[in-house]
Chains A and B, each alone.
Chain A
Amino acid sequence: MLLLNHLWIILALPLAGAAINGLFGKRWPQSAVNSVAVGSVVLSFLAAAETVREFFHLAADQIPFIGNYFTWMVGGEATSHAFRVDFALQIDQLTVVMLMVVTFVGMLIHIYSTGYMAHEGGYYRFFCYLNLFMFFMLTLVMAANLIVMFVGWEGVGLCSYLLIGFWFLKKSAADAGKKAFIVTRIGDFGFTVGILLVFATFGSVAFGEIFANVSDKSVDVLTTICLLLFAGAIGKSAQLPLYVWLPDAMEGPTPVSALIHAATMVTAGVYMVARMNPLFSRAPVAMLVVAIVGAVTAFYSATIGLVQTDIKKVLAYSTVSQLGYMFLACGVGAYTAGIFHLMTHAFFKGLLFLAAGSVIHAMGGEQDMMKMGGLRKKIPATYWTMFIGTLAIAGMPGFAGYFSKDAILEAAKDGPHANLILWLLGVAGAGLTSFYMFRLVFLTFFGKPRYDEHKVHVHESPKNMTVPLMVLAFLSIFGGWFAAPKLVGGIDYFDKFLAPVFSAYAPTHVAEVEVRVVDPSLRPYPEPSPAMELVRSLISWPVFVGVLGLLVAWYFYIKRPDIPMKMAQSAHALYLLLLNKYYVDEIYAALIVRPLLWISTNVLWHVVDEGAIDGVVNGTATFARESGSQARKLQSGNTRSYAAWVILGAVGFTVILFVILDVVH
């Protein structure tokens, strides 16, 4: 109970690291900055590990274990609508998973960055931001109420902004950072209103109190809340229609793309939906929306990934697509599968990004795959680890991604909220994923070099970069195995472990449905043997389309490399549409950004402010001045005209007086 009673230590460590490097790092050598930055995250990981070890000794009724530190916001304490937010952290099974993923992957990426950023300016600044990110991300996953979660939520957005625009001298980087912050804030508008509605409905923002009172709330209110919260998830986790910031975010250094824009921050939306599962499970319409957005995004962004030539852009669209799968999982009620995919994705996508970074490092900054080729022999460690990551994301049997993706698609086909169309989109997306990932590998590592071998001196990355790759490669293979037994008919540890989070407040009728599916005695056919189950799953559709994608990519990019070119020419319009990402950025600019700026400048500012309002004000002043100078003429010195004015004034005064009296009575 040593650390469990001090949950705050886990997040205070990286915060301290950020503060120290931010204040003093500028004057320190790289080694000192390293030891503070990496040291604080390693310690944070160790603290998290120890906390989790202690967590396993807790009794079921002690979970979630809450640490309440101080009262952060209060309003109307003496009234019936008292609003009170404590700075409170909690740990439960879901938090344990997130905590381990965030601290472990975060630690590896910190180590990797010491190699990748070694020759960059602003070294201390980079690690200050990266540590700050860890602090906010840990706040997000450990929050015990929506507002503290929102602190983490906005905080990771800030760090994302700072790190995307890390090379701020480049306009494209500064633009991308700003775009990321603003687009996610559009989603956060929904999130904010969602929180307001939660408080108005439940009278609290603490998860425990919300979930305990969820059963007597109307479906309409819950649906509204869920859709509003999901708007925040759409922004943060880059789903349709707010995904546009994530591909641009690749302007940031590659370790940032790996940590923030693949492994952790972008999955915050999935985490939030899973965390709020008692509400979502009672709002079928919201669930359906989540599933549709997820499945459509998964397929849609996979199609864009087919034709991109920038190695990081392919991975970015792939991330958008994989996040879509996680939402699909949540939407069909398979939260465990969604979180499971979140975890395996953190391993293999983190790996793929870091490996891509290693490739870019080796190529001296080149990101265009058309200018690579044949790197297999020159950077073998990078090649092999990236190949493993590709097998994992393509869902090849035995690799981490296979288990998690299969679990999602199985739930979409056979689960309580199964939907055949969404399943089809998911399967099609899986085929595309396999194709574009093997395309990436073949273009980068196979074939003949398409770069000038005299100018570019390809070199393998240093140990502090390759070791994290190997660790993540190991996890990309074996990271899914502890969920594997389900496929051979055994007990699913992951499912069982997370069950308290996802079933404690589950609506009763859904629970019954789930029981019916799981209970073998109710199945119409006899329970198959484990071997049968294994065979059945190996010849499943996702595996089939995955292998198909691999074969097609092999045929296109190794066997007949001339075909892609010909296809691009014969279906030129489609090719351009995909290459230009369906012109969505251009459409947003034309329909929203430019009209808004035009109206603000030409209507609101120049017409309303300067024309109308100031016109009245200045007009009044001019009128006063003019009438003053006219009135001066009345003072003519002519006695008769004075007399006339006196009489006229008296008449006017009398009239006004009578009018006033009349009004008063």
Chain B
Amino acid sequence: MGTNPYLLTVITFLPLLSVAALLMLRSDDHVWIRRIALAASLAEFAVSLLLLRGFSSTNPEYQFTEYRAWIGDAIHYHLGVDGISLFLVLLTTFLTPIAILCSWESIRENVKGFFVSLLVIETAMIGVFVSLDLFLFFVFWELTLIPMYFMIGMWGHERRIYAAVKFILYTMFGSILMLVAILWLYGKAGTFDLPDILSLMQSGQLSFPPRTELLMFGAFFLAFAIKVPLFPLHTWLPDAHTEAPTAGSVILAGVMLKLGTYGILRFCLPLFPEAAHRMAQPIAVLAIIGIVYGALVATVQTDLKRLVAYTSVSHLGFVVLGIFAFNTTAIQGAIYQMLNHGVSTGALFLGVGMLYDRRHTHEIKEYGGLATPMPILMSFFLFIALSSLALPPLNGFIGEFLILIGTFQSHHAWASWAASGAVLSAIYLLWAYQRVALGEVTVEKNKTLPDASIRERVILVTMAVAIIFMGIASPLFTRRMEASVNNIIEQTSAPRNASRPAAVPLARPIAGHVVTLPAHPVLATLAEKQVRP
């Protein structure tokens, strides 16, 4: 390949290195803190693009791998990317400079601390995406929490402490269960290495009794589902978003929620395939409830940022649904939708943040008629809303449609219910846009608001270009994902010669349909009786 063998390490820790540089600066030297943070994050983005050059889209295995002993024999420093994590890394490196740029003027207190937190989060998030060792993964996973906690708690709005505590309690609750599961898994497998554990499972040397598998699956899934967030574990999200500073929301919605869906895809499915199939039905139902519920609750919000936060519940429902359809197209769509949501919802939060910078409120009724004083900002706002409501040929449409078409192959009802989300998203976004932008200017102060500044236009144009590009050139992304997605699906459904009680026949995908109900003993005997005569 001819690329640097340490590329992933460089990408992961470059932000942390720039943190060291930031720490050298005087705390009141805000200009240079911002400039260095921006330059470092741009450099990081440029370096991360090198991944595309060496990446082979036909190779389902991990690429750019690095493997080194770390703590004892069991814990390794094992990095690698595949078609699933590749674009999530790029999403992270793409959104971080945007987040820095949008905080340029709005963050005035403890500027250094803020940008340090932002860059630490970047390292942590990339670390989560590239770790192939469960222990290492968990370290990065937890590392994302602390700076985000500070970001909400220190630079947030009125109810920031409540929101920060709620955020940390919710996620810690899930994390602890996951830690227990990871340790238990280590106890069984004798290693934290994900590829090793998977090959032990493939060869039949490692297997779990169904009930244990279900519990382990549950422990992992709960941690991830909180992060996604899947209904009904979503109530931390509106609070965290509403109180977080703009950059916090962009990172939170743009990347952090995907840690959850990524985790499901990377760990829950291949490690606990039987359980994943058994639980697919209830999880899909929760995802669909989330799609509809998030959209309905978003519709009636009076706080613009809270409205956008609820749309995430709806959009991430699509992603979870796509994952549990166990279909290549649907999972490709789910990954694409993760990227889209990062761009579109991130951009929506950026727009909301620009309004907040001017008026210091998120209340919709404080706005109205803004298209007159600020036509450029509002045009972009509408454009972003259109991408979020999945208008073809913009990016949101591709993700949603791939999910729907893949899911529909085996689950007509799931996809049909989910498709109703497209109607609802038009309602909440266009209604919100009308209340903010159209009509006469209702609040006197708003008449003189300045339109988008050069810096804001740079941000908005960048996001708009990403939206259009991802709407037109989706094969550039989905083709690179396919081999890895097929790999995951294979791992999730490959029969293993595990020694398990024969009396418990488990779910297997049968001719594209997934039988998700465990065989009930009574039903099983009934079935036998029917066969007998």
Contact = CB atoms under 8 A, between A and B. Distances in A.
A81 B427 CA distance: 33
Interface stretch (A164-172, A283-291, A430-438, A504-512): A164-172
B39 interface: no
A193 interface: yes
B475 interface: yes
B329 A76 contact: yes
A174 B440 CA distance: 11
Contacts of A199: 405, 408
Contacts of A600: 296-297, 299-300
Contacts of A197: 408, 412
Contact of A81 (B329, B333, B474, B479): B329
By Cβ-Cβ distance, the 3 closest A-B pairs, closest first, are A75-B329, A76-B328, A174-B438
Given A171-B439, A185-B426, A610-B235, 17 more contacts: A73-B474, A75-B478, A77-B479, A78-B482, A79-B328, A151-B392, A154-B391, A158-B386, A165-B438, A169-B369, A174-B439, A189-B422, A193-B419, A196-B412, A197-B408, A600-B297, A600-B299
A218 interface: no
A77 B406 CA distance: 12
B529 to A, nearest CB: 31
A617 B475 contact: no
Contacts of B141: none
22 contacts: A73-B398, A75-B332, A75-B405, A75-B406, A76-B482, A79-B486, A83-B402, A83-B405, A168-B371, A168-B439, A171-B438, A181-B430, A185-B426, A186-B423, A189-B423, A196-B419, A197-B412, A600-B300, A601-B300, A608-B232, A617-B166, A621-B165
Contacts of A161: 430
Nearest to A621: B169
Given A158-B391, A196-B415, A600-B299, A185 B423 contact: yes
B419 A192 contact: yes
Contacts of B327: 76, 81
Interface of B: 165-166, 169-170, 232, 234-236, 238, 293, 296-297, 299-301, 327-330, 332-333, 369, 371-372, 386, 391-393, 397-398, 401-402, 404-406, 408-409, 412, 415-416, 419-420, 422-423, 426-427, 430-431, 434, 437-440, 472, 474-475, 478-479, 482-483, 486
Interface in A514-559: none
A189 B296 CA distance: 16
Looking at A71, A72, A175, the one whose CB has the most chain B CB atoms below 10 A away is A72
A188 B328 CA distance: 25
B478 A74 contact: yes
Contacts of A614: 235
A609 B169 contact: no
Contacts of A185: 422-423, 426
B427 A154 contact: no
A601 B428 CA distance: 13
B408 A200 contact: yes
A155 B390 CA distance: 11
SS of A interface (majority): helix
Contact of B393 (A78, A151, A188): A151
A75 B297 contact: no
B235 A613 contact: yes
A26 to B, nearest CB: 9
Given A72-B475, A597-B299, A192 B422 contact: yes
Contacts of A590: none
A182 B438 CA distance: 17
A399 B483 CA distance: 62
Given A83-B402, A182-B426, A609 B297 contact: yes
Contacts of A189: 419-420, 422-423
Contacts of B479: 74, 77
A137 B440 CA distance: 31
Nearest to A153: B392
A583 interface: no
B238 to A, nearest CB: 8
Contact of B475 (A74, A76, A181, A601): A74
A456 interface: no
A92 B352 CA distance: 47
A424 B486 CA distance: 58
Contacts of A76: 327-329, 332, 406, 482
B114 to A, nearest CB: 27
Looking at A73, A174, A188, A597, the one whose CB has the most chain B CB atoms below 10 A away is A73
Interface in A117-176: 147, 150-151, 154-155, 158, 161, 165, 168-171, 174-175
B132 to A, nearest CB: 24
B386 A182 contact: no
B347 to A, nearest CB: 18
Interface of A: 71-79, 81, 83, 147, 150-151, 154-155, 158, 161, 165, 168-171, 174-175, 178, 181-182, 185-186, 188-189, 192-193, 195-197, 199-200, 596-597, 599-601, 604-605, 608-610, 612-614, 617, 621
Contacts of A599: 296
Given A77-B479, A196-B419, A600-B297, A83 B329 contact: yes
Contacts of A168: 371, 437-439
A163 to B, nearest CB: 14
Contacts of B434: 174-175, 178
A74 B475 CA distance: 6
Nearest to B478: A74
B296 A596 contact: yes
A521 B31 CA distance: 93
A78 B486 contact: yes
Nearest to B333: A75
Contacts of A610: 235
A72 B474 contact: yes
B326 to A, nearest CB: 12
Contacts of B438: 165, 168-169, 171, 174
Nearest to B295: A600
Contacts of A155: 391-393
Nearest to A199: B405
Contacts of A609: 235, 238, 297
A72 B486 CA distance: 21
B329 A196 contact: no
B340 to A, nearest CB: 13
Contacts of B401: 73, 147
B176 to A, nearest CB: 13
Contacts of B478: 73-75
Nearest to A190: B419
Looking at A71, A77, A188, the one whose CB has the most chain B CB atoms below 10 A away is A77
A72 B423 contact: no
A150 B474 CA distance: 17
A73 B419 contact: no
Given A73-B401, A83-B329, A158-B386, A193 B416 contact: yes
A75 B430 contact: no
A604 B329 contact: no
A548 B329 CA distance: 60
Contacts of A192: 404, 419, 422
Contacts of A77: 479, 482
A161 to B, nearest CB: 7
Contacts of B234: 613
A150 B405 CA distance: 14
A113 B247 CA distance: 45
A178 B427 CA distance: 8
B414 to A, nearest CB: 11
Contact of B415 (A78, A83, A150, A193): A193
B56 to A, nearest CB: 15
A280 B299 CA distance: 37
A617 B235 contact: yes
A182 B415 contact: no
A188 B408 contact: no
Nearest to A150: B392
A609 B298 CA distance: 12
Contacts of A195: 405
Contact of A604 (B297, B397, B405): B297
